[in-house]
Amino acid sequence: MLEISHFKDSRIQYFEQKNKGPTAARNIGLSASRGDYIAFLDSDDLWEPTKLEIQTQIMDINPHIILSHTSHDRVDTNKEYLETMSSGKFPGWVYPQILQSCSIATLTVMLRRNKITHLMFEETIRISEDIIFWVEISKISAIQGIDQPLSKVRIHDTNVALDHHAQITGFSNIITHSIQKRADLNDPQIVKVLNEIFLPTN
């Protein structure tokens, strides 16, 4: 890992590593972070100018919240608007319902750093590893949804959201990981959700 310090703003640190995928890069960011909050932005996506300000204000007045997330817009490769995803309409104690469906986009998330020092992204998982991270947080905290589109996700041919096979793989990763992590499968809520997933009623 190479640290580059040629930025004019001394608050900015840049870390370079061999390509090990986004999960490893995010874990480096988690380990290196020192501020109160953590947010994620991949190279092909965009934040609105007020995104961080709005989220930090909301989290400042809700100190019990570990994770907040917002709605977001989808844009094409030329940044032309496609649709708004109201993913911010997903608040509260969402576990175990989050196992069934999770619309949280990584670039919309803000985390309270001092509450997640025991967590890292699963580097052995390449699809839905971000949702697995949100699942672990949702076990210990309510989450804050903000129904404002404060980010833009650029949609292209490699998006998991457009790949049904990848979506199935991701869903399998979420369920498998959650079952492995949760020793007590006698919890009525867990059993109910798993039954709804694997034994849907007509």
Q: Give the per-residue pLDDT at 11.
A: 76
Higher pLDDT, 101 or 49: 49
Q: How many other CB atoms are found less than 10 A from the CB of residue 151?
A: 25
Spans of all domains in the chain: 36-198
Between helix 129-138 and helix 164-181 the angle, nearest 10°, is: 40
Average confidence score pLDDT of the chain: 84
Q: Residue 71 is inside which H or E element, if any?
A: strand 67-75
pLDDT bin (cut points 50, 70, 90) of residue 1 is very low
- Strands (E) located in the chain: 2-4, 14-16, 37-39, 46-47, 67-75, 81-85, 110-112, 143-154
Q: How many other CB atoms are found less than 10 A from the CB of residue 191?
A: 12
Q: State mean pLDDT over 192-202.
A: 62
Could you report the per-residue pLDDT of 44-94, keeping only the tens digit for each?
Answer: 899 999 999 999 999 999 999 999 999 999 999 899 999 999 999 999 999
Looking at the predicted structure, is the pLDDT value of residue 115 above 90? yes
CATH superfamily of 36-198: Spore Coat Polysaccharide Biosynthesis Protein SpsA; Chain A (3.90.550.10)
